[in-house]
Amino acid sequence: MAFSIDAGTAADLDAADPLAAFRDEFHLPAAPDGSPQIYFVGNSLGAVPRAAADYVHTELERWARLGAAAHFEGELAWLPYHELLTDSLGRLVGGRSSEVVAMNSLTVNLHLLMVSFYDPTPVRHKVLIEDHAFPSDHFAVESQIRQRGHDPAESLVVARPRSGYETLRRDDLLALIAEHGSELALVMLPGVQYYTGQVLPMAEITAAAHDVGARVGFDLAHAAGNIPLALHDWNVDFAVWCSYKYLNGGPGGMGGAFVHERHVGDRSLPKLAGWWGQRPDIRFEMGTVFDPAGTAESWQLSNPPILTMAALRASLDTFDRAGGMEPLREKSQRQIEYFGLLLAEVIGDRVETITPAALAERGCQHSLRIRMPGVDGRAVHEGLERAGVACDWRYPDVIRVAPVPLYNSFTDIHRFVGILDQVLDEATR
Ligand SMILES: *Cc1c(COP(=O)(O)O)cnc(C)c1O
């Protein structure tokens, strides 16, 4: 690798970056001293596209001008508005138009899809999750197990890293799936683990689960917009995501769901139903016989929030103009390598990266653990924030930093490592 640690290299990398101009399409907050913040929390709340205000304002203006008629008029008619998001989302997650829908929020979607895809029997009742699952996922799975008359003590299978390791091993996961085989109803895992940043081998997990007759759902909160996904080709049964992290859909933004084509028309699946799941051509006939849309839209319940979807459209259009996940991932890989090199050269063993090094096993997040006797990681995090870095602290001891290829530059990375070096120096004084 031909990177060097001087600032000129960062500037050269930015000058050669074909996606560099997208940075100007986002508002990035200012640091306390007025200089631009190093915004490395796009894994928590993605930056706002400058165009979002126009997209939202357009709908406010249509509301003012047309009132209720805006439901029906023009290309932006509100009744089918959610359809405007489907193809872009499909490109990001590797799903077909019939398989993808923008709706609700992540945990709500997880519940809705577990109603359909966790169908326990006395023999096959177990759900496999990971030990460090995001609390909401853990709560959702446990409550679903109870709701179906089972006991999490018997029905919850937890995958753990080996003792002394941070991340899950592929072989251990596949072995665990095989071990619980005929008792396993559902494998519910993250695409990218939120704490370590590890990418799980989704295609292999799916194949292994299907081999034993289990279904597979993925939580893509940290995967959508971060790494390329191919849900249809991997044969995943269902997936859910939120849009406020890498998809820049705004606080509490519209979530999404994927249901594989082979299930979307299956009327035997249990389902919680609402009027927006009705076939679109008869949705407004107001009949009371549920005749579900033959697509992922049949999981919709309610008339969706147009202003929230408008903000998300601004971001999805940006992803499309950037060429989608392939070029973004290419830039992200260069940023990951550059970051890794600077950490090794400048920071050395004062900081440990618990995120896997192999590109296939990680996205753009770096989960850093301070390894200096007597130095509290939380104080280092506070020092970084004071110096104009937005990054986060995750209990018990990790600082997460996520250089996002759509709007973070190589110069951001270079500046960050310089600041980290300084903060660590000061911490030992
Ligand atoms: C962010 C995140 C969520 C958030 O769920 P909401 O229902 O959108 O609040 C859930 N799961 C994981 C793994 C997350 O990272």
pLDDT at residue 35, rounded to an integer: 85
Query: Whose Cα sits closest to atom 4 in ligand 1?
Result: 106
Closest atom of ligand 1 relative to the 242 alpha carbon? 8
Confidence of residue 3 (pLDDT cuts 50, 70, 90): low
Question: Using one digit for the tens of pLDDT, what is the confidence trace for 354-381?
Answer: 999 999 999 999 999 999 999 999 999 9
At 1, the pLDDT band (50, 70, 90 cuts) reads very low
Whether residue 107 has its Cβ less than 6 Å from ligand 1: yes
Beta bridge partners of 283: none
Residues in the chain: 429
Mean pLDDT of 148-163: 97
Nearest Cα neighbor of 54 from 320, 313, 254 is 313
Residues 261, 208: Cα–Cα separation, whole Å? 20
Ligand 1 centre to CA of 319 (Å) is: 21
The preferred substitution site among 136, 189, 367 for testing ligand 1, maximizing ligand atoms within 8 Å of CB, is 136
Any atom of ligand 1 within 6 Å of the Cβ of 136? yes
Residue 315 vs residues 15, 94, 308, 358, 371: alpha-carbon distances, Å: 24, 18, 11, 29, 38
Ligand 1 proximity of 338 Cβ (cutoff 6 Å): no
Q: Which protein residue's CA is at the shortest distance from atom 1 of ligand 1?
A: 221
- Residue 429's pLDDT is 77
Global confidence as pTM:
0.97
**Nearest atom (ligand 1) to Cα of 245:** 1
Atom of ligand 1 nearest to the CA of 137: 11
Distance in Å, CA 244 to ligand 1 centroid: 9
Tell me the longest C-alpha to C-alpha distance in the chain.
Answer: 73
Residue 237 has what DSSP assignment?
A: S
Render the burial of 11-30: b for 16+ CB within 10 Å, e for the rest.
eebbeebebbebbebbebee
State the average pLDDT over residues 132-150: 96
Distance 194 CA to ligand 1 centre (A): 9
> For ligand 1, is residue 242 a contact (CB within 6 Å)?
yes
What's the token pair of residue 26? 């986002």
Q: HEC string of 59-109?
A: HHHHHHHHHHHHHCCCCCCCCCCCHHHHHHHHHHHCCCHHHEEECCCHHHH
DSSP tag of 252: T
Q: How far apart are CA 408 and CA 25, in angstroms?
A: 11
Closest residue by CA, ligand 1 atom 6: 106
At residue 36, the pLDDT reads 84
Distance (Å) from CA 368 to ligand 1 centroid: 21
Query: Cβ distance 189 to 200 under 8 Å?
Result: yes
Give the whole-angstrom CA distance, residue 160 versus residue 169: 9
Task: Name the nearest CA neighbour of 173 among 218, 135, 109.
Answer: 218
Residue type, position 226, single letter = N
Q: Does the pLDDT value for residue 194 go beyond 50?
A: yes
Could you tell me if 228 and 329 are in contact, meaning their C-beta atoms sit under 8 angstroms apart? yes
Q: Are 304 and 81 in contact (CB under 8 A)?
A: yes
Contact 99 CB / ligand 1 (< 6 Å): no
Is 33 a residue whose pLDDT tops 90?
Answer: no
pLDDT digits (tens, 9 = 90+) for 309-342: 999 999 999 999 999 999 999 999 999 999 999 9
Q: Which of 110, 188, 194 to mutate to test the pocket of ligand 1 (most atoms within 8 A of CB)?
A: 194
Percent of the chain with pLDDT over 70: 99
What is the distance between the alpha carbons of residues 367 and 356, in angstroms, rounded to a whole number?
A: 9
pLDDT, tens digit, 9 for 90 and up, residues 43-66: 999 999 999 999 999 999 999 999
- Single-letter amino acid code for the residue at 64: A
Q: Mapped to the 3 state alphabet, what secondary structure does 281-336 carry? A: HHCCCCCCCCCECCCHHHHCCCCCCHHHHHHHHHHHHHHHHCCCHHHHHHHHHHHH
Residue 2 binned pLDDT confidence (cut-offs 50, 70, 90): low
Contact 145, 156 (CB under 8 A): yes
For residue range 100-125, what is the model confidence (pLDDT) as tens digits? 999 999 999 999 999 999 999 999 99
Q: What mean pLDDT value characterizes the chain?
A: 96
pLDDT score of 424 more than 90: yes
Closest CA to 178 of 152, 203, 156, 209: 209
List the structure tokens of 247. 């998809």
Pocket test for ligand 1, best of 110, 131, 137 (most atoms within 8 A of CB): 137
Nearest residue CA, atom 15 of ligand 1? 221
Kindly list the distances between the CA atom of residue 40 and the CA atoms of 37, 143, 336, 339, 406, in Å, as whole numbers in the listed order. Answer: 9, 34, 13, 12, 12
